[in-house]
Amino acid sequence: MSNTAFLTVAGAKRWDLYGPIHKGLRLAHSQMLIRLGQADFTHDQSALMADLRTHLALGAKHLAHEDRHIHPALERRAPGAAVALEAQHGHHRRRFAELERSMAKFEGASIPERAARGRALYISFVALVAEDFEHMAEEETVVWPQLCALFDDAELAQIEMDIIAALAPDEVIAFMRMMIPAMAPAERASLLGGLKANAPAEAFAAVIERAARPTLSTADFDVLERLGLAA
C-alpha cells in the first residue's frame, strides 16, 4: 500500500506520515462524540457501548503503532525527542482505562442512575477528544517537520510501510473505514490509486467493498468510479 498524499514543509513536498490517519481519527472521534451526546442513556445502549469499545481499541492500536515504529526511529536520530510524546501516549492510555471504568459503571447502573452515569461517560470522552486533538496537532506541526528534517521521503515511507505490514487484514479495513471518508477527494484518489498500483487485487477490492463503498456518499463513490478506482 502506498501513500502518495503529500503536504508542504518549508516549500518542499514531503511524505505525509501523520495527516491521513489523523484525519480519520478526528472524523471517528467527532462521530462518536455526537452519538454519545445524542444518546438517551435511560434506554439500552449496548450497541453504542460496543462501538465505543471498538473505537477505543483502534485508538490504542494507533498509539502502539507510533510507539513501535515512529518514536524509536525519532529517538535514534534525535535522542530525547520522543520523551514528551511517550508521556502523552501514557496519558491517553490512562484516559482509555478511565473510559472503560465509566462504561462499566454505566452498564452496571440501575435505571435511575443511568442518565448520570451516561453523562459522566460522555464528559470523559469529551476530555479524551480534546486532549487527542491537541496531541495530533502537535505531532503534525512540530513532530512531523522534525521527522522531515531527520529523514528523507524514502525513509519516512518505509516507516509507514512497516506500520501497514504489521496490521492484520481486518485492522487495515478498520483504519481505512476511518481514513477514506475523512480525506479530501484528491487525497482519497491518491491513496486508493497507490493501493491499486501496489497491493494485491483482492486486498484492493476488500478496501473498496468494505471500507470505501459503505462510508462514502453516492457522489463521492461516483468520483472513484469515474477515476477507475472503484473496482
191 and 5 in contact (C-beta within 8 Å)?
Answer: yes
d(CA 189, CA 180): 9
Q: Which of 13, 83, 84, 95 is nearest to 59 (CA)?
A: 95
Return the H-helix or E-strand segment holding 9: strand 6-9
Residues in the chain: 231
From first to last of its 231 residues, the chain has per-residue pLDDT tens of 334 444 444 445 788 899 999 999 999 999 999 999 999 999 999 999 999 999 999 999 999 999 999 999 999 999 999 999 999 999 999 999 999 999 999 999 999 999 999 999 999 999 999 999 999 999 999 999 999 999 999 999 999 999 999 999 999 999 999 999 999 999 999 999 988 988 899 999 999 999 999 999 999 999 999 999 997
Strand partners, 38: none
The residue to which cell 520522543 is assigned: 82
- Sequence-distant (6+) residues with CB within 8 A of 67 are 86, 89
Coil, helix or strand at residue 31: helix
Q: What is the pLDDT of residue 4?
A: 41
Domain ranges for the chain: 16-152
d(CA 104, CA 53): 11
